[in-house]
Amino acid sequence: MSVITCVEDLRVLAKRRVPRMFYDYADSGSWTEETYRRNESDFQSIQLRQRVAVNMENRSTATTMAGQAARMPVAIAPVGLTGMQHADGEILAAKAAEKFGVPFTLSTMSICSIEDIAENTSAPFWFQLYMMRDRAAMERMMERAKAARCSALVLTLDLQVIGQRHKDLKNGLTAPPRPTFGNLVNLATKPGWCLGMARTKRHTFRNLVGHVDGVSDMRSLSAWTHEQFDPRLSWADVAWVRERWDGKLILKGIMEAEDAGLAVKAGADAIVVSNHGGRQLDGASSSIRALPAIVDAVGARTEVWMDGGIRSGQDVLKAWALGARGTLVGRAMAYGLGAMGEAGVTRMLQMIHKELDVSMAFCGHTDIRNVDRRILVAGTYPTA
């Protein structure tokens, strides 16, 4: 593909270059994938109002997210197994984000470690944490994140149990991955990917192996991860994290106004309206449809962000117009990384920024801070 013009181009290229089990891991939802598809389609139904004869010079999409400067209201979302989309994937994505000027979030279930990111970048980054039964391991990860100058902790609240993802089941994908015969055959058709992985030492969950008691290799890691996600997660546990983390705390996985209010009471510096990319509760509302009610409920008490379904700068603009003061992109990052490595993530950010900038101008604005619901066609967007 000689010319990349949109995120969909990156997706097509990534599907060609990334082994099936890892591509499907990133590009799938749970059960029927209804919510996964709705995350995108509900954005597409929102219409923009075009304005003319407006001075479009000196445009700015700059903002801050959790106190960190951002060239646009976009951050890289935490995505597990990013280092299996491309060798050293998390490092490459973090470098692209730093150079472009947007925040990067590292997943607990990353292939590259907290320390890997700190050693290869100079900007502060964010670390995403799950509530685990092993509280001592959580405390050690928070301490490591502080030592690595992580400026915010993203606590994911919607993975107490794991949704049934049919593609992962059919591919035999496990954590950590144990390739089946069919997957090994598929790997043979991806020589570029295989060569890249042969050149790196980063092949396992480096945030965990060697850092968790009793986890020293892939076999012990598999047994540990199988039992760690804590189904007993409560707001008391969120308070436990808040007491131990003195930086910015972002709570991810909010889909109801009631939970948003509880998140504010728990001390969240920002909340992320998110259905986990349609990978957990299938049949749930899209994130963009849930957003307005949560914005109205929270008001100015904390920052409200969203993720799920963002594939263009117009999606970012629509989310901002509906009250989101930040967005997280995960799949679009994975597509770019799988397609072209660091250059693919950079290209993704460039395209989203260009689409956001130009669309904002067509709607009659030169500063993202002045954009609100008035740029949207009445009746085409969700309301509280």
Entry pTM: 0.96
Per-residue confidence band for 210, with pLDDT thresholds at 50, 70 and 90:
confident
Could you give the CA distance from residue 171 to residue 279 in angstroms, rounded to a whole number?
Answer: 16
Could you give the CA distance from residue 330 to residue 332 in angstroms, rounded to a whole number?
Answer: 6
| Beta carbons within 8 Å of 95's beta carbon, 6+ residues apart | 120, 121, 342
- The pLDDT value given to residue 220: 75
pLDDT tens by residue, 128-171: 999 999 999 999 999 999 999 999 999 999 998 889 999 998 88
pLDDT tens by residue, 84-93: 999 999 999 9
pLDDT tens by residue, 276-332: 999 999 999 999 999 999 999 999 999 999 999 999 999 999 999 999 999 999 999
pLDDT tens by residue, 48-81: 999 999 999 999 999 999 999 999 999 999 999 9
- The pLDDT value given to residue 179: 75
- The pLDDT value given to residue 218: 65
CA angle in degrees (0–180, nearest 5) for 137-210-218: 105
User: 107 to each of 46, 115, 145, 351, how far by Cα in Å?
Assistant: 31, 13, 11, 24
- The pLDDT value given to residue 158: 95
- The pLDDT value given to residue 175: 73
Q: Which domains does the chain have, with CATH numbers?
A: 7-51+65-375 (3.20.20.70)
3-state secondary structure of 21: helix
DSSP 191: H
Residue 235 has pLDDT above 70, yes or no: yes
Encode 39-83 in three state secondary structure.
HHHHHHCCCECCCCCCCCCCCECCEEECCEEECCCEEECCCCCHH
Average pLDDT for the chain: 95
Could you give the CA distance from residue 58 to residue 109 in angstroms, rounded to a whole number?
Answer: 41
Average pLDDT estimate for 356-376 = 98
Average pLDDT estimate for 245-263 = 98
Catalytic residue flag (residue 276): yes
Query: Residues 86, 166, 203, 276: which is the catalytic one?
Result: 276
User: Which tokens belong to 377?
Assistant: 């066609």
- Give the distance between the most distant pair of CA atoms in the chain: 66
Residue 164: left if φ>0, alpha if ψ -120 to 50, beta else—which one? Answer: beta
Per-residue confidence band for 1, with pLDDT thresholds at 50, 70 and 90:
low
Average pLDDT estimate for 323-342 = 98
The amino acid present at 47, given as its one-letter code, is: Q
Average pLDDT estimate for 323-344 = 98
- The pLDDT value given to residue 229: 84
- The pLDDT value given to residue 219: 67
**Up-side HSE of residue 144: CA atoms within 13 Å toward CB?**
24
User: H helices of 148-256, where?
Assistant: 166-171, 181-187, 191-198, 218-226, 235-244
pLDDT tens by residue, 172-192: 887 777 778 899 999 999 999
- The pLDDT value given to residue 228: 86
34-44 vs 313-321: helix axis angle to the nearest 10?
80
